[in-house]
Amino acid sequence: MFVLKASGDSVNAGLNLSEQSHGHHHRFPDKLAFLLNNPLRRRLLPPERLISKLGIDSNDVVVDFGCGPGFITIPLAKVAGKAIGVDVSPRMLERADRYAKREQVSVELLQSDGTDLELTDKSIDLILLNHVFHEIENKRGTLSEFLRVLKPSGRVAIIEKTSGGGILSGRFGPPIINEEEVTRELKAAGFDSLQAIPYGKDSVILGQKAAPGS
């Protein structure tokens, strides 16, 4: 199912996402979307391998935030109870919709920059961000919105490149991010039970919605 919902000023906000607090990385250009989801990338970096590390249950409702053309979203839909792809770019969402139809899976696709998600309070089990967190300008506002839609035991999983290098880093590939910086931002926003799992040159940084009063 393709549900394109524009939240607030998400289209205009998408322009701001290219001006990162890290200062050296821009939102991935729509015209290069084919680099994000193609047979070679799926073979070299099978999304199922990453998904298997997240402890997703067949009843879970999972959000792929910054889903792009659906590289993670569509495999998620095959194991979760429901997969919701969120992206600021309508073109990326259109690509994700075509991919879902080819794979014959049902996904919900929403357009938003993250600060105003059209999702019910306490309805989401897991929010996944694959090489996306560094692109968010209003991190505090987005994390606050994540807390609103997450269930009391809901989790966030942030995957970022934390080691290595290469000529594509910070250009067409993700920049190297300080893992401790991400952890601090999650804790300040209201997440606890923080842990980081090494995943190749990446880290999977996990946080759980803190209990009220903790």
Structure token pair of residue 65: 């935030």
Q: Give the model confidence (pLDDT) of 34-74 as tens digits.
A: 556 556 656 777 889 999 999 999 999 999 999 998 989 99
d(CA 170, CA 180): 19
Whether the predicted model's global pTM rises above the 0.85 cut: no
Q: Is residue 214 part of a domain?
A: no
**Bridge partner residues of 174 (DSSP):** none
Q: Is residue 127 part of a domain?
A: yes
- 206: helix, coil or strand? strand
* Total domains present in the chain: 1
**pLDDT > 90: percent of the chain:** 60
11-20, 98-107, 177-186: which has the minimum mean pLDDT?
A: 11-20
The pairing of beta strand 150-161 with beta strand 124-130:
parallel
Q: Is residue 115 part of a domain?
A: yes
Give first-to-last CA distance, the chain, whole Å: 38
Q: Is residue 1 part of a domain?
A: no
Nearest partner of 159 among 199, 191, 195, judged by Cα: 199
Confidence check: pLDDT of 213 > 70: no
Q: Is residue 96 part of a domain?
A: yes
The pairing of beta strand 150-161 with beta strand 191-199:
unpaired
Give 172's pLDDT tier (boundaries 50, 70, 90).
low
d(CA 76, CA 78): 5
pLDDT for the residue 47 = 84
Give 97's pLDDT tier (boundaries 50, 70, 90).
very high
**What CATH number is given to the structural domain containing 54?**
3.40.50.150
13-27, 49-63, 69-83: which has the minimum mean pLDDT?
A: 13-27
Rounded to the nearest 10 degrees, the angle between the axes of helix 179-189 and helix 139-149 is 60
Confidence check: pLDDT of 2 > 60: no
Q: Which domain holds residue 153?
A: 10-209
Q: Is residue 2 part of a domain?
A: no
DSSP run (H or E) holding 150: strand 150-161
Confidence check: pLDDT of 14 > 50: no
Q: Is residue 122 part of a domain?
A: yes
Q: Is residue 171 part of a domain?
A: yes
pLDDT for the residue 39 = 66
